Amino acid sequence: MNSPVALAAELPYSLRGSIVRSESLAKIDSTQTLAPSFAGWGRLAANSMAHMVEHLFNGVIAVILPLITTSLGLTLAQAGALASARTFMAGAASFPSGLFADLARRRNLLLGLCLGMIGLGSLGLSAASSFPVLLIFMALGGAGGGGFHPQSLAILSAAYREKRAFALGVHDSSANLAEVIGPLALGLLIAFVDWRTALQIWAIPGLVLGVLYALLGAEDSAAAPQRRDYRRALWEDVFKNKTVFSLVAVSTLRAMGQTALSAFLPLYLSLHLKLSAGAAGAYMSLLFFFAGIAPAFVGWISDRMGRKSLIAVFSFLSVAVIVAVPFLAAGPLLATAFAALGALLWALRPVIITAAMEAVPQNLAGSIVAVIFGANMGVSFLAPLMAGVVADAYGLPAALVFISAFPLLAAVMMSLFFKPANPR
């Protein structure tokens, strides 16, 4: 008699009339459940805390990189290379991490390793005195961050199948809050110690939590899947899946809009509205604050409302807010617009990832995360370049209107081409 796991894996394939693929997928379904030590919502709390630690490393770029540049006499090109090394390695590491997230039995060890790499990156930077060494440890931290997401999201997807969007929303909120808290906390720390000591202190959370998660975060899992069957399922259910393709495109367009806005909203506030650095920072902090708290609520809503409607509506609303910004003077209305952007456009990422996970078998959760993050990182850097060309030619308000085209295309694609899949 077939096991329940095998039957669950075979059903979607049988409906499509492909017996061979159903047998293949039955072999590789490695459904994983919570260990007793992470019963209930403890797993979500642990992964969200780990996600905060992963994003705290971003504070190194915002606060410490200028100090390293000045202290070691680096050129601006070298400083840019350090930031690029982190981003490049994060994107490069996401693909093998997605593979391991779907094939490995002990994902807690891999997630703990990623956190440890982030801690070692900070520790190595604190001791570095030359550009090549800085480059190595910045890349190490970036690889840890890029490898973290497929592991963590695949673990949560298996643990909270009925509340995926909510769980991924809480996970995303923790990262966004870390983006706000990290630079502030690190800046405060720098007021009392030098940058090398600050980096040594900053390494502690990653190293400690990495060891704890590796030791205590084990999942109950079945046997590891076979690679041949995994490759077949990856090709059939991810790369040839039109629903997945549409979601990757929607996610990339959303990321392009977010990346461009992150660069050009501060420029608009400072150069066009002539606001002080403090006032401009207050507006951006408001945006990031709502980006931090909104994903959990948006995920909860999407678990009840449905993915397609929510993503399309929130994308269209984001377009309206972005287009309205150039017509608003500094004050309460502009502040409301910035808060709305955080709650609308920024909060969509976990919902899109949830929809993509529901379109593939559970055993491919890590791979779909890797594909989405890889596509986002590999393409979204183009958006600020294009917006910059528009800004030079027509001004910053026109650049903001141009940026609204990205969520608009995402909304149209979601409305016309996305067909919801039955959750796997």
For position 5, what pLDDT does the model report?
Answer: 39
Span 309-338, pLDDT tens digits: 899 999 999 999 999 999 999 999 999 999
What are the beta bridge partners of residue 319?
A: none
For position 226, what pLDDT does the model report?
Answer: 53
To the nearest whole number, what is the mean pLDDT of the chain?
81
| Integer angstrom CA distances of residue 385 from 228, 263, 343 | 41, 10, 25
Single-letter code of the amino acid located at 51: H
Is-above-0.75 flag for pTM? Answer: no
- Cα angle at 360 between 355 and 365, to 5 degrees? 85
The alpha carbons of the chain give a radius of gyration, in whole angstroms, of 22
Binning pLDDT at 50, 70 and 90, where does residue 424 land?
low
CATH architecture of 231-417: Up-down Bundle (1.20)
Question: Domain extents for the chain?
Answer: 30-224, 231-417
For position 91, what pLDDT does the model report?
Answer: 78
Using DSSP's 3-state secondary structure scheme, residue 331 falls into coil
Span 89-109, pLDDT tens digits: 887 888 888 888 877 778 889
Confidence check: pLDDT of 42 > 70:
yes
- Measured between alpha carbons, how far is 322 from 165 in angstroms, rounded to an integer? 25
Q: Which residue has the higher pLDDT, 247 or 224?
A: 247
Q: Which residue has the higher pLDDT, 199 or 234?
A: 199
Span 51-77, pLDDT tens digits: 999 888 876 766 788 788 889 998 877
Question: DSSP character for 169?
Answer: H
Span 155-197, pLDDT tens digits: 888 888 778 778 888 888 888 788 778 877 887 888 899 999 9
Domains 30-224 and 231-417 share a fold: yes
Contact at 8 Å (CB) between 238 and 360? yes
Binning pLDDT at 50, 70 and 90, where does residue 380 land?
confident
Binning pLDDT at 50, 70 and 90, where does residue 34 land?
very low
- Measured between alpha carbons, how far is 319 from 410 in angstroms, rounded to an integer? 10
Contact at 8 Å (CB) between 202 and 59? yes
Phi-psi region of 415 (alpha: psi -120 to 50; beta: other; left: phi over 0): alpha
Our separate counts of H helices and E strands in the chain read 20, 0
- Measured between alpha carbons, how far is 24 from 7 in angstroms, rounded to an integer? 12
For position 115, what pLDDT does the model report?
Answer: 95
Using DSSP's 3-state secondary structure scheme, residue 220 falls into strand
The token duo for 70 is: 């000045």
Confidence check: pLDDT of 361 > 90:
no
For position 227, what pLDDT does the model report?
Answer: 52
Confidence check: pLDDT of 394 > 90:
yes
- Measured between alpha carbons, how far is 364 from 351 in angstroms, rounded to an integer? 17
Single-letter code of the amino acid located at 10: E
Q: Which residue has the higher pLDDT, 103 or 126?
A: 126
For position 263, what pLDDT does the model report?
Answer: 78
The token duo for 96 is: 């093998």
Span 388-393, mean pLDDT? 89
Taking the domain 30-224, which CATH number applies?
1.20.1250.20
- Measured between alpha carbons, how far is 383 from 259 in angstroms, rounded to an integer? 7
Span 395-414, mean pLDDT? 94
- Measured between alpha carbons, how far is 107 from 228 in angstroms, rounded to an integer? 20
- Measured between alpha carbons, how far is 38 from 216 in angstroms, rounded to an integer? 9
Q: How many Cα atoms sit within 13 Å of 11 on the Cβ side? A: 10
For position 330, what pLDDT does the model report?
Answer: 93
């604190």: which residue's tokens? 126
For position 398, what pLDDT does the model report?
Answer: 95
The token duo for 41 is: 């919502």
- Measured between alpha carbons, how far is 280 from 303 in angstroms, rounded to an integer? 35
226 CB neighbour count, 10 Å cutoff:
13
Which residue stretches of 163-194 are H helix?
A: 164-190
The token duo for 85 is: 């090394």
- Measured between alpha carbons, how far is 143 from 90 in angstroms, rounded to an integer? 5
Confidence check: pLDDT of 386 > 80:
yes
